Structures are given as structure tokens and as C-alpha cells.
Amino acid sequence: PFYKILPDPYFLQFVVLVTGALAVVTFFRLASVLLSRRNAFLAAAIFALNPDFLINNRLLLVEPLFLCLVFSGLILLFKRKSLFFVALFTVLAYLTRVEGLLLFPIIAFYLWLDRGLKSVFRFSFFSLLCLSPYFYLNFKINGSPLANVGNYHFITLDFMHSMYYGYGEKVLTPLTF
């Protein structure tokens, strides 16, 4: 979507670098919830200098945004903030990368141990509420809220096309694969 705002690969790299910097800041905030401030700063420095993270910030990938969303959701979870916002960040992380689907059972298990079964149901309700527009649009486009027609995520013209426009025209779901 950012390519349509300004069709320049350097602008897209700038957007990825900004989300990478935000991911480092949110990682520091998450670590400071769990560790002392000094150890949190050391952990954030190690995270920021991780070669994989630096490479992902150089390429036009969504990993920094995904990490930023995951860390933000976990900060809200550990600070015992509203479960709606925890669910919102979890859903956004899931919609950014399919691996975000693993967050739902992990957060539900943590909530069950920490706050009880009622919190798990509230988190599940808010997650489904936040996912409902995605399911509706997927149903409207593909005829099913959970599945797509074909494997459009494998069709690309070339690397540059896939980098700007994604790997398909359809909305993807984890059940596509």
C-alpha cells in the first residue's frame, strides 16, 4: 500500500527502517517490564544489532512491523491493560504474518493461568470482533471466510513486482497453504 503513496523503493525502505526502529523501542519497553532498566537496555542493544534484524530492515519485508505489533501486544498484556487492545495488536500481528496465529493460544494460556477463564473468553471475543471485518471481506471476495480460490500467493511476475504488490490479488488466510 505504501508503494501507491510514493512509488519509490527508497521510500519503502524508509518505512521499513522506521518500523524497525519502533520494534527496537517496543522491545526495550517489553524488556523493561520484565527486567531491570539496565538489562532491558542491554537486551535491546543486542536485539538491535542482531544481523538477521539488520538484514530484514534493509530489505522490504514486514518482519519489523510484525515484531513491533507483537511486542506492543505483549507490553499491554503484561501491564494488565485492556484485553481489547491486546486482541487488536494480536490480530494485526496475525494479519501481518501468518505466524501471528501462534500468539492466540499462547496469550489465551497465559490469561488462563494469570487471570482465569473469564479473561480467556473476553480475549477470544475481542479477537473475533477484530477479525470479523477480515472474515467478511474474505467471504465477499473468495466465497468463504477461511479459504481462498487458488494459490495466488505463489504467482509473481518478478521479484520487484512481488516486493511492491505482494504475491497475489486475493486476501490470504492461514488455511490457504
pTM across the whole model: 0.71
76 pLDDT more than 50:
yes
User: DSSP for the chain?
Assistant: -HHHH---HHHHHHHHHHHHHHHHHHHHHHHHHHS-HHHHHHHHHHHHT-HHHHHHHHTT-SHHHHHHHHHHHHHHHHTT--HHHHHHHHHHHHHH-GGGGGHHHHHHHHHHHHT-HHHHHHHHHHHHHHHHHHHHHHHHHHSSSS--SS-GGG--S-HHHHHHH-S-SSPP-GGG-
23 pLDDT more than 50:
yes
pLDDT tens column, 9-18: 677 778 888 8
pLDDT tens column, 142-157: 666 765 444 343 333 4
168 pLDDT more than 70:
no
171 pLDDT more than 90:
no
Instruction: Band the pLDDT of 6: cuts 50, 70, 90.
Output: low
